[in-house]
Structures are given as C-alpha cells and as structure tokens.
Chains A and B, each alone.
Chain A
C-alpha cells in the first residue's frame, strides 16, 4: 500500500489533537423572587344544634374537613383571615389553622371584617395537609338562624 503525501501530515495532526480540549462558555442569569402562596381545600360546615340545660348552646367544631397548604421562601410570613360581612348578633365563627413547622398558630380566633392573624412566623417552607378548623358559637339570644354561607378570606403576608 502506497501512502500519499498528506497521510503523514494527517497522522501527525490526529496524534497532536489527542487530549486537547476546546471550550465555550455561556452566561446563565437567574433569580428567585419572593414567593408566598397559600391554598385552602374543603368546604367545612358547622351547626349548633344542642345545649346543656342551663348553659348557652353547645358550640360545634369541624376539624376534619378543611386543610390548607403554604409555600413561602421568606422569613416571618403570616396568615390572616377575615369575612366580608359581620356574623349575625350572637353568633361567632372562629377559625384555627394548624401551624406549619416552626410557625405559631394563634388557635381559634373569631372572624370578623377586620383581619386577624391566625398563623405567624412562617419561614422558608413548603408544607401541605395542614388542618383548618372552624367553630361556631351561638348564644341563646341569637335565636334560630337559618343556614347561611360565609366566605373566609385568607391572606398571606410576606416577611423579609
């Protein structure tokens, strides 16, 4: 076999490229903005139906129907709750949100048109399946109240 004049040059070139590396760069710009999101599931129902004789009607609690979830990447976020219109006189609707890890729940707080802080100190977490409990209290003076619906508005306020 007769080698052409370029074969030797090619061989040298290939040998010379062994273990040689070529490189290129790309610049990737990225960021993570403040994220504060909540979600509530379920449609809880509470009804006052009985009393102990001599006492105010017995409050009723639904602690199993509602759940909530939260994701925040900030420190010290909080959840507040309110209702659009006041409850009838003698009736009190309260909410209690279970606290995610490291946060603090205020326990049952009466809901009104002014938002109340239900959970505070929520810091950099993503957690779901947290209990959202509701309680209805009624005084005898409230009388009979037919079924009604209240929309509870929850708001997450970012921390720092």
Chain B
C-alpha cells in the first residue's frame, strides 16, 4: 500500500507542478461557460435588410417602416438593381432583400393585388426560413390593417406555453453539454495521454517492474484526474447557478452521483484508448477526433438527436455523452426523480464495465 501512496503522490506532483496545464484545466470551463452563456445565441435579431422600392408610395413606406421598427431587421440601405443584391449577399452585407413592384399602392387599390418579392440569402437555410417567417407575418399584419370592414371568420387560437424554460434560455441547454464535454476532455484525453506517455518515454517498464500491481498503477494514474474532474464539475455548477441562474430542480446529490458515474465512464474510456495506442500522438488524435467531435455533435449538445437520420440516431446510442445529457438535463431542468432515468444510468454503467473489461484484457495481453 505504501508504494501505491508513493505513486499517487508522484502523480499529483506531476499535475500540480505543471501550472500551465492546471490553469487551462480550470480556466477553460470558466471561459467556455461565459462564452456560451453570454455570446452564443440561436436567436435571429437585427438581420440586415435590403430594399428595392421602385414605387416609393405610402403603402410601401408603411411596410418598410413596419419591418425596420421590428427587432428582427435593420436597414442595409436601398438598392436599385438585382446585381446590387447579388453583390450584397456575396459580401455578407445583407441577408434579405425585399423588392416592391412599381406602382404598388396604385395596383393594390385598383387591381386588388400587388406583388412583393422576398429574396433571402439561403446559404444559411436556418436563418433564411426564420427571417422569412418574420417578414411574412409582418406583411400579413399590414394587409389585415389595409382591409376595410371587420375581418370576420372563424379561427382556432393557439395558446402556447413553454414548459421548464419559459424564456427559452440557451444557457440552460448548454450547461449540461459543457459538463459532458469538459469531463470527456479531462478524463478521457488526459488519462490516455498520461498513460501512453509513460509507455513512450519508457518509464512504463520501470513502473511495471516495481512491486506495484498493474491495476494499482492504472488506479494511481487515474485518481488525480478523478479529483480534478469533480472539482471542475463543482466550479461549472456554481457558475451556472450563481451567474446564469440555471435552475436546479432535482436532487443535487443524485446529480453528483451521476456525474461521478460519467467521470468513471470517461476515465475507463481513456484507459481503453491508452491500452490500444503506443504513442501520445495516436492517443491524442484518437481521443480528439474520435471522442470530442462526436460528443459535441452526436450527443444532442447543439443539434437535437431527434432530427438526425435514423442511422445516425443509432450511432448516437454508443456516445456516452448522449445518455449523460438526458440525465443531467432531466435532473437540472425538469427535476425528474431517479425512477425516470434509471435506464440511462444503467446504459452508462454498462458502458463503463465494458470499457474496463476490454482494457484489462488488452493490458494483460500486453504484459504477458
């Protein structure tokens, strides 16, 4: 046991002595959380709108001022030709252009129909359909006001309630994802590197001939990162709670236990990677390319899993972060009890056992 303590102390020294890495280790989550919380938004506001108004009468001007008065649009100036629109789209100066036909008010009054063309820069389709929806609803309003007489008819009136997150704050969604991302990085990437490093510089042999058992070596390597990870989770949760007011509706104890499970899972994944690779480079590229991007994209962190093609939804089942995200969002935002998430918990636990079993087998093969 004494030798084990020795190893543990050595590992802690290794980490604590490397100030730069330590600073990043704790600074990164903080910076990312601040960025996500304050800077990264999905809402569309102040879109630059280009106007081609060959008519310039009171109706078109009413429409224009209506559009520009809304929070969604900002004027990008007047244009006279389609060529100018193309140019503005290409240079990113405008995202939408509205073209009124000549004699707009006259046609509207005498012919009953006037045409307006809405052009969007649909290279970003998401934004294009959003701003189009805003534009058409404003145009409809104007049309209704122009109509004479009472607008009779029957209509179904939807009453919408946004449950769990009435202000639609994106930070609520990002915090759980961020926890998963950082834990993946710290646990899987850092452990896989630290173990392969010993292999690469040759000190693994030295450790293996010491009286320590292989399992003890691995555990000794892993424990410091476990401690650091728990501290990081604490920091992130505190920030989320005190700075961004992310709700914490469920049990904190349950959340911490689930985090612990996910940390263990990520650590075992790190161990697995390190048993499979012989150089730090390979270990790093594997964890980086193989784990981080899937954790960002396939877990539902930014893009909803339900929107993905069926085949990818199947793939997302093997991404541990996906299950963890369901758990954390459930506990924090919906306040679900354990009975509603036991299946996800079981999946994570199963993955952990699987990773550990495979690593132990790999490790034995190598030593033997």
Q: Does A pair with B?
A: no
